[in-house]
Amino acid sequence: MEMLPNDKDTLLAMTLYKVLSHNANCYANDWWRGSYASIMFPEAELSSQRLSEFLCSIEKESIQRRFFEKYLQFLCKDDKRRAILIDSTGLANKIRFELAAINTHNGKTSRETRLILAVDRLSNMPLFFRYVAGNIVDVTTLRNTITELAQYGIETKLTIVDAGYYSDQNVKALLDNGIAFLTRVHSNRVLFKNLVKNHIADLMSLEYLTKYNERLVYIKRVDVSLFNHNLYAYIAIDLQRRNDESYGYMQGALEELQNGKLTDEQIRRKLETIGVFVLICTECIDTHEILPMYYTRQAIEQIFDVNKSNVDLVPLRVHNEDTFRGHLMLTFIASVAYLTFNACLKKSELNAMGVFSNARNLKCKVYPNAILVKEPAKITRMASQALGIPIPEFIYT
């Protein structure tokens, strides 16, 4: 804890509080006083006033840079050329600062700040976070995220992003810098329309049929040229999605056809693209492997879920940019702790949420010179065995 030598106990206690409790910071001191954390971290100061000062201390740029230098050096060790996943999520808030802006996403309008996360594809661990105003679109943030990672010595060898990051400027920048990428192309782009138009006729041939999990998908790989570079397009049809959405669409389209609001040709063109998606990649990958590679993106969704559900990222209970930055930093550290613990249980039947929930029932009796640990429940014993960490009967103080 070199980054905060004077607040080491507070940082460690608050990391535990975020991981183990889902309550507001104002209850942290009550939790600490009734927890073994008060013995482990006796110098922690968790009063509401002190916590605001603490968040303002870890929001400092110098502190965060020092943390990421140490953290990325530890996580990436001798290989800093990484494949990364990048995505963002909205943090709705009413804080009065320039980073809270009106944004409409999936038909829902809110005042928010966007949190951008970079995740290591190999370990599925978060690498780095940034944040921007809620009205800044994803497409403009990709290069800055990669550039910031480079400042910490992380060289991006492959980036996997969703369609929101696809633009001519981003594609050209990635190609010019020799960064391999895999992304989806939005259906409103000319590239998507041309690829579908040229290849839809024979796409549903058995030679292109593959299976991903329980999904049957037709995938055809074709060569494409972008900015004088040779790439590969994967035109695909998700069979179940196509059938379900076509049925739903035709229920409404039939009435509009009879009323003269749609033509046969308009319906035909729409049906052609239902269930169709296009991936673009710099690498020539077997069509059976392209979906498993692309859907490693789900790892970043899971980390956002951990942030929001398990380490108290939202709702935001801060009042200015300083405490907001500190809150994001603390949440990032807590998510790393949670995910690391969960990874240690990977070979068992257990998960972090279940273990933490059961371990809360492990009680102790505190005597002047020793702590008597009561008998643990079954799941807590199983976790102890899986982690190779014995539960003591006595802890001498």
Q: What is the mean pLDDT of residues 10-39?
A: 92
373 - beta bridge partners?
Answer: 364
In terms of domains, do 245 and 328 share one?
Answer: no
Domain membership flag for residue 83: no
Buried/exposed 11-23: b ≥16 CB within 10 Å, e otherwise: bbbbbbbbbbbee
Q: What is the pLDDT of residues 304-324, one digit of tens each?
A: 999 999 998 988 888 788 999
Detail the DSSP E strand segments found in the chain: 81-92, 101-105, 108-120, 126-133, 155-161, 180-185, 209-212, 215-226, 229-238, 276-281, 364-366, 370-373, 394-396
In terms of domains, do 379 and 282 share one?
Answer: no
Quick one: pLDDT band at residue 108, thresholds 50, 70, 90?
confident
Percent of the chain with pLDDT over 70: 98
Length of the chain: 397
Domain membership flag for residue 276: yes
Q: Is the per-residue pLDDT at 5 higher than 90?
A: no
Q: What are φ and ψ of residue 113, in 5° steps?
A: -115, 140
Q: What is the pLDDT of residues 47-102, one digit of tens each?
A: 988 999 999 999 999 999 999 999 999 999 878 899 999 999 999 887 778 888 88
In terms of domains, do 205 and 236 share one?
Answer: yes
In terms of domains, do 278 and 193 share one?
Answer: yes
Q: Is the peptide bond before 5 cis (omega within 30 degrees of 0)?
A: no
Domain membership flag for residue 45: yes
In terms of domains, do 188 and 276 share one?
Answer: yes
Q: Is the per-residue pLDDT at 1 higher than 70?
A: no
Q: What is the pLDDT of residues 205-239, one digit of tens each?
A: 999 999 999 899 999 999 999 999 999 999 999 99
Domain membership flag for residue 134: no
- DSSP conformation letters of 365-397: EE-SSEEEEPPPPHHHHHHHHHHT----SEEE-
In terms of domains, do 210 and 251 share one?
Answer: yes
Query: What is the tally of structural domains in the chain?
Result: 3
In terms of domains, do 322 and 282 share one?
Answer: no
In terms of domains, do 199 and 238 share one?
Answer: yes
Q: Which residue is associated with the tokens 């780095």?
A: 128
| Contact present, 40 and 32 (Cβ < 8 Å) | no
In terms of domains, do 215 and 272 share one?
Answer: yes
pTM given for the model: 0.90
Q: Which domain holds residue 369?
A: 354-396
Domain membership flag for residue 105: no
Rounded to whole angstroms, what are the CA distances from 327 to 55, 57, 301, 319?
A: 6, 11, 20, 11
In terms of domains, do 258 and 325 share one?
Answer: no
Domain membership flag for residue 299: no
- Could you tell me whether strands 394-396 and 370-373 are parallel, antiparallel, or unpaired per DSSP bridges? antiparallel
CA 77, CA 351: separation in Å to the nearest integer? 26
Domain membership flag for residue 126: no
Give the single-character DSSP code of 77.
T
In terms of domains, do 338 and 388 share one?
Answer: no
Q: Give the pLDDT of residue 94.
A: 79
Rounded to whole angstroms, what are the CA distances from 41 to 15, 23, 46, 221, 245?
A: 11, 20, 11, 57, 56
Q: What is the pLDDT of residues 165-214, one digit of tens each?
A: 999 999 999 999 999 999 999 999 999 999 999 999 999 999 999 999 98
In terms of domains, do 278 and 325 share one?
Answer: no
Domain membership flag for residue 215: yes
Give the mean pLDDT of the chain: 91
Quick one: pLDDT band at residue 260, thresholds 50, 70, 90?
confident
